[in-house]
Amino acid sequence: MSSALPPNPHDASNPNHIQPLLTSAGRRADGDRNLDQRGTRREPPMMSYFPNCLDASDRVEKVLSTDPSSSELGSNSDASSETAVQDSRSNTSSQSVQSPKSDYEIFKEKAQAEAAAKEVTGKDAPEIPDSINELPWAVRRVVSLHDDTSLPTITFRYFLLVFIFISPGAFLTQINEYRTTSAPYSIFFVQIAASYVGDWMARYIPALEVRIPFTKWRFNTNPGPFSVKEHVLVVIAANAGAYYNLAFTPISLAEVYFGQKINSAVALFFMLAIVWTGYSYAAIAHHFLIYDPQQPWYHALCQTALFETQTKQREYPSPVSRKQTIVFFSVILGVTLWQFLPEFIFPFLSSLAFLCWVAPRSGVANFIGSGLGGMGFLNFTLDWSNINVDGMGNLFVTPWYTQVLAFAAFVVNCWILLPIAKWGKLAVWKHHLMSNDLFIQNGTRYPVELLVTPQMTLNETAYAQYGIPYVGAQQLWGMFFDYASYTSVMVWMALFGYPHIKATLAKFMERRRSRGKKSVYEQYTDPLNVIMRSYDEVPLWWYIALFLVSFIIIITLLACGFLYIPIWTYFIALLTGAVVVTPLGWLYSISNFQLPIGTTNELLYGLMVNAFPGHKSPVGASIYGSIAGDAWYRAQFLLQDQKIGHYMHIPPKAVFFSQMLGTMVGVPINYGAIRWVLDNKMQYLDGTMTDPNHQWTAQTLNSYLTSGVQYVLVVNIPSSLPFPSYAYNFIQGPRELFRQQIYRPLPYGFLIGAVSPLALYLLSKRFPKANFHLWNSTIFFCGLSNFYGNISTGYLSSIIGGFVVMYWAYRKKYELWARYNYILGAAFDSGYNFNQLLIFLFFGSVKTILMTKWWGNNPNSVERCFALPDDN
């Protein structure tokens, strides 16, 4: 589509004029290359998480082997490959944690880079001003430093696109929460498709002036070419709305296990309220995590790279951009067609268990090799949903060091601890090592539903009959490391993030002393913050108003008795959410790793609720967890979208509006998806039938049920009940739970989590070049807490793919990586999700159609592990 050329950003007559970044000579006038523009000597460079652990020597070597002309084709920003190599000199105003380096080393690296550039280009490399140096190399490589404030944002086309793309995403991501594995509804698919649909609308929708009745407002149905800012805002709205809602856990628990259906209006209002609580909590961490250029937000940077590529293709098409488009759609088509094999026709491909092929009737070989109920040793998969596993994430996006930590945790969990538990003495209770259900001591499933009376109190007779609930060894150490990850992230932030926190608080106090005369954009001097000075920040009272609306809704529901928790615990949930939002957001921004905190929230709820009579429903623990958890999860999404807006120069108020609109569209669809699953898949969820693909297992619900029963339900048994005295200690709630031999080690997880970051911090000080700041104990502990009982395939395939893409290709084939990596990541996720939509429409929307049983879809074991022990 043809469009008018944007104004020249370097034209002084242009209101968006940007001062030229270099002198005519390409150097600073003073001639001292170690002095900034103010004449002060540069400090040592920052410890950076950009770009995936490359050091300066790698970047110098890269320039020596890079053709500058090809580098320019792969770049979306104004920075050339010559400027990009000087990433090591980030300005100290960003106040990130520093990695000590001498002035001599800095000078030497710079001289090497300039010599390399001169050798390739035949001229001296230009000097980079300090303002550009404040941006990390990866950001300079991706983000444009031009802005046109006249581009349209909220338009008629925008609203149409929001409804088109949120509806399927909200449905698919919600039903995926009941499955064992799945790839997310790809926001990259929305990003690609919205560009083409938006261009089509700009061409064919009539340009009509429409007046809104009874107001003076009017709008044009087609205000001109589809702008990049409209495009970004559509995707941000989809980020907010095309996502699952955490309230599905209490809604589903009550109905699946206890036969109590929560009123639809109550469920909808509760789902909206917890989301808005999280969005309002973003105000707490906003100033810590958005403006500092040293906070990467890898997923936001990935989306920005795609936005910039699309903009360049739309406005200045080139052979490279056309080839990128062909690759993207070819991969989407290929993945869409391929996924019909492992997901429907040929499930054998979802778990390639070589040891089971060698010894299909050996129980030991099956346990070691199975990826669907075993250790997953030497097990591969050709199913993208299994490769896209928890912790590892999309191998095209997640940093290499995060993938290594997640894989190391998997190896320790499944390949080391599990065999020791099964054949050694690690497990006190050896039944059902890899299950997250509750069991009777003899190994049979615990009838949890019989423990609850219609009044949601403990059935003492049933408890006396069945005794103490037991859990498998893997579930136990999952709880242990879950506790460890919770304290680890707090201590890690306090140690490694202290300089950042201190600097941000100093800036905040400076703004308060200025009484509104100085904005946060004026406190940072990097080009991105300078550009954003053209726009107003979101007022604090917007966040406060949003919080008050959510607060009134939940307080009303609690006062009317529609939920399962006492009102006073709601205030504790709000407090805990406020405490964790900044450290967890910081972890996500530097590692692309999101820490789940559900078990710890439920433990805290159990400690509180057992101190007083009443409110002993296991569903209450998940209600509490939904409130406290979404206070962090939704805040993270809002912050990530705001970082995208920051990278793409979008007005912050327009970003905030888009997030609210996405929520209003997506949440009702979320509830419709919940109802569809509960009405059509109940036989799999409640265990009446077994899904042959081990997908509709409700393992997430099982985990919440286990925690709820352990921490909440089994309490206050009268001493007259006829069972051993040690049981009386167990049933006094979480405080007594940990006195039992099987649960006794669990509280030490909090201690291990607190001590580990301190040890790594001391090592990083003693050995600054060893990159101990990348040895993130929180990510490792969280990987150990993941439950692998149903699906342990995928990790080996994922780490191999991650090595090729994020390690080898990044270092050896960088220009190829820069052009296609994020596009391939978007295409794989998009193809998978399109396939899931087609399978739903063709085989499940009207009538459920099952694949015929054959060799590749064996009814006993799709991976052909016929002797896999049932008591795993």
Predicted pLDDT at 594: 77
Domain membership of residue 461 (yes or no) is no
Can you read off the two tokens belonging to residue 596?
């789940």
- Alpha helices by DSSP H, listed for 598-731, are 598-609, 618-648, 652-680, 682-685, 699-708, 725-730
3-state secondary structure of 353: strand
pLDDT band for position 366 (50/70/90)?
very high
Distance CA 646, CA 521 (A): 11
Q: Residue 546: is its pLDDT beyond 90?
A: yes
Domain membership of residue 775 (yes or no) is no
CA 491 and chain centroid, separation: 21
Can you read off the two tokens belonging to residue 212?
């809104």
Distance CA 511, CA 664 (A): 34
- Whole-number CA gyration radius for the chain: 28
- Min mean pLDDT across 122-131, 280-289, 586-595, 732-741 is at 122-131
* Residue of higher predicted confidence among 589 and 17: 589
Per-residue HEC secondary structure of 310-329 comes to: HHHHHHCCCHHHHHHHHHHH
List the beta strands (DSSP E) in 261-391: 352-353, 379-380
Q: How many CA atoms lie within 13 A of 51 on its CB side?
A: 25
Can you read off the two tokens belonging to residue 22?
């270099």
Predicted pLDDT at 346: 92
pLDDT band for position 45 (50/70/90)?
very low
Q: Residues with Cβ < 8 Å from 24, sequence gap 6 or more?
A: none
Residues 169 and 83 sit within 8 Å (Cβ to Cβ): no
Can you read off the two tokens belonging to residue 138?
């990866």
Which helix (H) or strand (E) covers residue 405, if one does?
helix 400-410
pLDDT band for position 454 (50/70/90)?
low
Distance CA 438, CA 707 (A): 10
Q: Residue 665: is its pLDDT beyond 90?
A: yes
* Residue of higher predicted confidence among 707 and 630: 630
Domain membership of residue 102 (yes or no) is yes
Distance CA 499, CA 47 (A): 11
Q: Residue 134: is its pLDDT beyond 80?
A: no
pTM: predicted TM-score of the whole model, two decimal places = 0.73
Please write the tens of the pLDDT for every residue from 237-251: 999 998 888 899 899
Domain membership of residue 118 (yes or no) is yes
Predicted pLDDT at 36: 41
Give the pLDDT mean for 705-731. 51
Predicted pLDDT at 216: 83
For residue 552, the cross-strand partners are: none
Predicted pLDDT at 871: 63
Q: Residues with Cβ < 8 Å from 114, sequence gap 6 or more?
A: 124, 125
Predicted pLDDT at 789: 65
Can you say whether residue 628 is alpha, beta or left, with left for phi > 0 and alpha for psi between -120 and 50 degrees? alpha
Give the pLDDT mean for 542-567. 93
Domain membership of residue 659 (yes or no) is no
- Min mean pLDDT across 214-223, 326-335, 427-436, 738-747 is at 738-747
Please write the tens of the pLDDT for every residue from 266-279: 999 999 999 999 99
Please write the tens of the pLDDT for every residue from 570-615: 999 999 888 888 888 888 887 777 777 767 787 788 878 877 776 7
Domain membership of residue 70 (yes or no) is yes
Per-residue HEC secondary structure of 275-307 comes to: HHHHHHHHHHHHHHHCCCCCCCCHHHHHHHHHH
- Alpha helices by DSSP H, listed for 411-526, are 418-423, 460-466, 473-496, 498-514, 520-523
Predicted pLDDT at 745: 83
Q: Residues with Cβ < 8 Å from 424, sequence gap 6 or more?
A: none
Q: Residue 195: is its pLDDT beyond 70?
A: yes
Predicted pLDDT at 232: 95
- With CA atoms as reference, report the closest residue to 647 among 283, 238, 303: 303
Predicted pLDDT at 353: 92
Q: What is the domain range of residue 85?
A: 1-142
3-state secondary structure of 220: strand
Helix axes 567-591, 264-289, angle to 10 degrees: 50
Predicted pLDDT at 130: 62
Average pLDDT over the chain, rounded to whole?
A: 77
The segment with the largest mean pLDDT, out of 136-145, 208-217, 421-430, 534-543, is: 534-543
Q: Residue 77: is its pLDDT beyond 70?
A: no
pLDDT band for position 641 (50/70/90)?
very high
Please write the tens of the pLDDT for every residue from 279-331: 999 888 888 888 888 787 888 888 888 888 788 777 777 788 788 878 888 99
Give the pLDDT mean for 491-496. 87
- Min mean pLDDT across 131-140, 535-544, 745-754, 861-870 is at 131-140
Give the pLDDT mean for 177-202. 80
Q: Residues with Cβ < 8 Å from 633, sequence gap 6 or more?
A: 246, 278, 594
- Min mean pLDDT across 47-56, 60-69, 773-782 is at 60-69
CA 733, 735, 740, 742 dihedral sign is positive
Please write the tens of the pLDDT for every residue from 756-794: 999 999 998 899 888 888 888 988 998 888 876 667 888
CA 6 and chain centroid, separation: 35
Distance CA 51, CA 736 (A): 47
Report how many domains make up the chain.
1
Predicted pLDDT at 309: 79
Domain membership of residue 37 (yes or no) is yes
pLDDT band for position 11 (50/70/90)?
very low
Q: Residue 419: is its pLDDT beyond 60?
A: yes
Contacts 24+ apart (CB under 8 A), 21-24: 21/128, 21/129, 21/131, 21/132, 22/126, 22/127, 22/128, 22/129, 23/127
Predicted pLDDT at 129: 60
CA 8, 14, 18, 21 dihedral sign is positive
Predicted pLDDT at 790: 66
Q: Residue 171: is its pLDDT beyond 50?
A: yes
